[in-house]
Amino acid sequence: MKRIRVGIIGQGRSGRDIHAHALTTVVPGLYEIVAVADPLQDRCDRAAKELGCMAYPDYRKLFAHGDIDLIVNASPSHLHVPITLEALDAGFNVLCEKPVARRAKDVDRVVAKARKKGRLLATFQQSRFAPYFMKVREVIDSGVLGRVVMIKSSFSGFSRRWDWQTLQDHNGGNLLNTGSHPMDQALQLIGTDAMPKVFCLMDRAVTWGDAEDHVKVVLTRPGRPTIDLEISSCNAYNLYTYQVWGTQGSLTGTTDHLEWKWFDPAQAPKQHLIEEPLPGPSYCTETLPWRTGSWDAPKGDLDMFDTMAKSFYENLHAALTEGAPLAVPMEHVRLQIAVIEECHRQAPLPRRRTP
């Protein structure tokens, strides 16, 4: 099996703790990190020691390293587009961290460049491989809940932040940062074949920057379930939850535990519409034959984040070595960015700098 030789741009939380960790530990044998780049010397020194690879303070020197199959672009978000374009121009396949861009037209630019250069371009949107999300989809697809009417999702906690990811000019904020993951899941559930109707409210709550950290998004499409999505940094109860409401039952739960209840219409009491007043002091009551199911996150050697990374990187390896289709195609990524762009259009926040 061919080992993909990788150069990683950026050795912060994403480049080191997510990508370098996954490539060396989660999918051993599929990839080899041969070089990294980071403008901070201490990060370069650390990477050279931990990974046994070359480390450069300038990513352009990484391009000249030679014999690299894949560039992982884990630079700050506002640099994703220009560095990805440079890497593609230099002839590399590129995996770009999320968000790949701030606007849909910029996604079109990098996709067009990849097509022109004959290179593979992917975005690290691994959350659709989360075990809880795969189970939610399995229950929905089974049909036991009937026609799904509403799906509510909350990816919220309490987090006061003051780093570059709180700045609009760095493409920061909850929607482009944390929100990329639940938005990718939401679009899988409402459908990726067309742009949904978007309603969005945003606020700054506990951030030191000028980007949003409290978001409410509602997505609708004819004949599809309504999606109600919250991404907030001011919920001290740390809600990472799903609710699915259907015509025959419902699902509720978290990333660790899900449960659902449903009934079979064939076994339910037969009812008919009654237009006259009901006899006596009565109300519509019945006993439905509820059935229940549950799921708990599997216990194993890999946690949820490593499990998601494993599936993503295995698919990426197959795409690079066998021509397999990407599980997260760039068309889906573009739709996600288009929705986020519409959210920012509807609920713009003034730009400001804080001391």
Locate all alpha helices (DSSP H) within the chain, ordered by sequence. Answer: 21, 41-51, 59-63, 80-89, 104-117, 131-142, 180-190, 304-322, 330-346
Taking the C-alpha atoms of residue 306 and residue 312, their distance in angstroms, rounded to an integer, is: 10
Taking the C-alpha atoms of residue 242 and residue 255, their distance in angstroms, rounded to an integer, is: 8
Distance of CA 314 to the CA centre of its chain: 17
Taking the C-alpha atoms of residue 317 and residue 11, their distance in angstroms, rounded to an integer, is: 22
pLDDT at site 353: 59
Domains of the chain: 4-124 (3.40.50.720), 128-304+336-346 (3.30.360.10)
For residues 140 and 189, the answer to whether their CB atoms sit within 8 Å is yes
Average pLDDT over residues 273-284: 79
Tell me the per-residue pLDDT of 213-236, one tens digit each, with 9 for 90 and over. 999 999 999 999 999 999 999 998
For residues 136 and 244, the answer to whether their CB atoms sit within 8 Å is yes
Q: Measured between alpha carbons, how far is residue 57 from residues 20, 92, 97 in Å?
A: 17, 19, 19
Tell me the per-residue pLDDT of 40-95, one tens digit each, with 9 for 90 and over. 999 999 999 999 999 999 999 999 988 899 999 999 999 999 999 999 999 999 99
Q: Measured between alpha carbons, how far is residue 61 from residues 38, 52, 79, 340, 346 in Å?
A: 11, 17, 17, 34, 41
DSSP state of 15: I
pLDDT band at 274 (very low <50, low <70, confident <90, very high): confident
R_g over Cα of the chain: 23
For residues 324 and 330, the answer to whether their CB atoms sit within 8 Å is no
